[in-house]
Amino acid sequence: MENTVRIKIDGKYYEAVTGKTVLEVARENNIYIPTLCYHPRTGKAGKCRACLIELEGAPNLKESCSLTVKDGMNIKTMTDAIIQVRKMIVELYLSNGDHNCISCERNGHCELQDMAYHLGIERPGFLVESKKFPLDNSSEGIIRDANKCIQCGRCVTACNNNVMHEVLDFGWRSGNMKVICDNDLPMGDSSCVQCGECAQICPVGALIFKTAVGKARWWEAEKKKVICPYCGVGCSIDIYVKDNKYLWSLGTEEDWEKLPNKGMLCVKGRFGLDYLNHPERIKTPLIKRYGKLEEATWDEALSLVVKKLSEIKSRFGSGALGFFASAKVTNEENYAMMRLARGIFGTNNVDHCARLCHASTVAGLAATFGSGAMTNSMQEADKSDVILVTGTNTTWNHPVFGGMIKNAVKRKGVKLIVVDPRDIDLAKCADIHIRQRNGSDVAWLMGMQHIIIKENLHKKEYIDERCEGWDEYLKSLEFYTPSKVEELSGIPAKQLYEAARLFATAGKGAIYFSMGITQSSHGVDNVKAVSNLAMITGNVGFEGTGVNPLRGQSNVQGACDMGCLPNVFSGYQPVTNEDIRKKFADAWGINAEAMDDKIGQTVTTMVNNAGDTIRGLYIMGENPMVSDPNLNHAEEQFKKLDFIVVQDIFLTETAQLADVVLPAAAFAEKTGCYTNTERRVQLSREALKHPEGARHDYEIIAEIARRLGYEDFPATPQALFEEMRILTPSYKGMTYERLEKENGLRWPCPNEDHPGTPILHVGKFTRGKGLLVPLEYRGPAEVPDKDYPIWLTTGRLLEHYHTGSMSRRSLVLDGLTPHGEVEISQKDAQKLKIVQGEKVRVSTRRGTIEINAQVTTRVKEGMIFIPFHFVESAANRLTIDALDPIAKIPEYKVCGAKVEKIIHVSEN
């Protein structure tokens, strides 16, 4: 139990937790003490003096934001002396600046205005001549008005200590002092990434969201809490709505310390949700007639879907149908899709985009640990002593968590090793940055282990007690000498030694990885090599340690959990187990004998087998015509299918190929759960009504089931969740009430008294003993040669997401980055006589695109990087469709390419 003290405030006694400030205790007990410079997420500043109180026995007024409670304190908050001081402070602020409340966008949401109201101040009592600063309207998302700034310093602290972008500071002196971006640049020309943290935390109207101007007064807008639809961090967002339209976003402040994002957002969560209002939302079903999609009624569309899917099943068998679930929809809707595929159509051909990003994680960690998910929590980053980051450009792909890693390194002293061929943001604060050759991850990972064991730095007791497979594993390490690793990876032996020693000796070590090592033709081996490193250093099962895959989409973990994989039901219960099949069959009211008892096809094999063993696809919320590798081949395959139905919110590139398009509801228009990268299941409530004519994904699936004769198919999120949790041991203890009250729960949560599991494998591994795996080195499927001499790798940008169907319909995001660019090194650009911004031709054995050049030091000589969001310069026209033999995940990160200057022949 926490230690408490007893204090008196304004004549009443209160119990207070030791270590808290007077201000915190007052706010916990709804006692009004105004503040301007203090914010719970930026901490005490002691600048504005608005929070002064009287303390019995003290000669002067005290700042409540920095005064720690002590037993017996007698405090007064509203004496005449305090009120007079507060009035003077407010009048000085109002006099020194441009504070026209009537015209200000922060009217009704301004802490200076609130303080003036409480003190009865109608107009300032002083006349102060102050310097007028020009309005900074240069950035895509934020307007800066230094004339409204009260120089509280909140934005500076938040930028430098919370989100860790280190853009804002105070500049100049005396009457010229102001908050500046970088070296006093306009915000739009600075290094600001438009996360909007400064505008959220500003107490006045000095920083406002440009996209919110003129949309609504604060008191007209309704606040609704949702879960962000972008990456796997699972940020909690308070969106503001009016007249069933999305207006703006704030990171959730209530209980912020218990939330995965701690009140912060990235540019996508802040400004990327306006696609909800986009006029291109599909609002009526479409049916392809004579080669053209035309509007149809729901009855026509659903009748055709049921007819065609039933015909394919009848003619070719259940195995001729495939179902693509989605990492963008709720757990309940993914469970419904899985239930439809297995329980009604009788096929295990159900999969989703995890196949393209973390299938190797699931397979690799399941083999070594017994569970294919992140072992620890993001909040533990500052509890580590050393962090190894590889295959993840975290500050772009999981920006809020990237800031947490930077915070741990810069403010808590955590050591950081970054292994990435590109000079990513985290490399700038790393103790060691290793730039390996693309596709050589098994070599350097096993090479580090070779050194650790040779130098006797491994944890022998941990290995003896908790691991197995030591002898064969040890023998396999003999190959990975530092000189051999240097030959294979290009990493100097000296640097490999430094990294190995630091990771093995620093203390608690955590490994964070993502698609840089999973999207590989040997992705499973990469993940097993990561597991090996964690186990031999004793870094699994403790706070601040672990093997932590960072999931790329908001519900890719949840879609896996719900059984949207060809080999498992929900909770990773194998489809090949007769007892498990019977359990689900009994719950669904069907005959277990009719269920498919074989592992189904994956997304990648279904596409490759289109027109052959696969004749029809039902695709929910996925866009493989931008996300699949070797798109020219993929397009040919989709055109071979007898029938495609696509269920989505926009007419995506995949929907354009469909025979039927069903308009669905977006994330903020539905109630349901999402499971983030750390296994935290969070409930998101409906904040908007979906467009008239669209329907919820779960409603569409239930109606298809009903038309097929399954009247009792669950048709609400609550009914689907209840059925799922009863059948899924790891979710069994979760209820909507608990998820809402406790800000989510991390699985496994086996009963309703269980608090959830932040850390896996405590005491022992899920599989019993961790498996140390011997690994033979296998290089990439394709490497550069004389025809295609440069390494191509692909990935994401900070400002965009996946296939761009959402982010490219956002005003700010598309304004920041309206088109794709190929990153090329300065040396390669010089050789090819390419200049910044010039359009170039990039080719591989699979295709050719034209794209603008970004000449940069971020990539090494001999390497290029292309983001895959942009259909007009689609990186996946170039990528290879070589697959990992176990996980069937494509090798997006490595292939040979060539870059050519486009020679324009002038007309005569």
Q: What angle do CA 798, 802, 803 make, to 5 degrees?
A: 125
pLDDT of residue 258: 95
pLDDT of residue 122: 80
| Residue 336: band (very low, low, confident or very high) from pLDDT cuts 50, 70, 90 | very high
Q: What angle do CA 377, 382, 384 make, to 5 degrees?
A: 80
pLDDT of residue 383: 97
Task: Determine how many CB atoms are found less than 10 A away from the CB of residue 242.
Answer: 13
313-326 pLDDT tens trace: 999 999 999 999 99
For residue 77, give the DSSP letter.
S
pLDDT of residue 274: 97
Whether omega before 285 lies within 30 degrees of 0, making that bond cis, reads: no
**Virtual CA dihedral for 525, 529, 535, 541, nearest 10 degrees?**
-70
Mean pLDDT across the stretch 215-220? 94
565-581 pLDDT tens trace: 999 999 999 999 999 99
Strand (E) or helix (H) holding 794: strand 790-795
pLDDT of residue 905: 67
Mean pLDDT across the stretch 434-451? 97
Spatial separation of the C-alpha atoms in residues 797 and 820, rounded to whole Å: 9
| Residue 195: band (very low, low, confident or very high) from pLDDT cuts 50, 70, 90 | very high
Spatial separation of the C-alpha atoms in residues 21 and 661, rounded to whole Å: 57
Task: Determine how many CB atoms are found less than 10 A away from the CB of residue 450.
Answer: 22
192 and 167 Cβ atoms separated by less than 8 Å:
yes
pLDDT of residue 906: 60
Spatial separation of the C-alpha atoms in residues 448 and 470, rounded to whole Å: 16
Cβ-based burial of 725 (10 A; exposed 0-12, middle 13-18, buried ≥19): buried
**Virtual CA dihedral for 884, 887, 892, 898, nearest 10 degrees?**
10
832-857 pLDDT tens trace: 999 999 999 999 999 999 999 999 99
pLDDT of residue 94: 87
Q: What angle do CA 618, 599, 769 make, to 5 degrees?
A: 125
| Residue 907: band (very low, low, confident or very high) from pLDDT cuts 50, 70, 90 | very low
User: Of all residues in the chain, what percent carry a pLDDT higher than 70?
Assistant: 99
What's CA 886's distance to the chain center, in Å?
26
Q: What order of strands is seen across the sheet that includes strand 745-746?
A: 672-675, 680-684, 745-746
The sign one gets for the Cα dihedral 26, 28, 29, 34 is positive
233-285 pLDDT tens trace: 999 999 999 999 999 999 999 999 999 999 999 999 999 999 999 999 999 99
Half-sphere exposure of 860 (CA within 13 A, CB side): 14
Does 54 score more than 90 pLDDT? yes
| Residue 160: band (very low, low, confident or very high) from pLDDT cuts 50, 70, 90 | very high
Cβ-based burial of 776 (10 A; exposed 0-12, middle 13-18, buried ≥19): exposed
Does 559 score more than 80 pLDDT? yes
For residue 854, give the nearest of 905, 803, 899 by alpha carbon: 899
pLDDT of residue 68: 93
396-431 pLDDT tens trace: 999 999 999 999 999 999 999 999 999 999 999 999
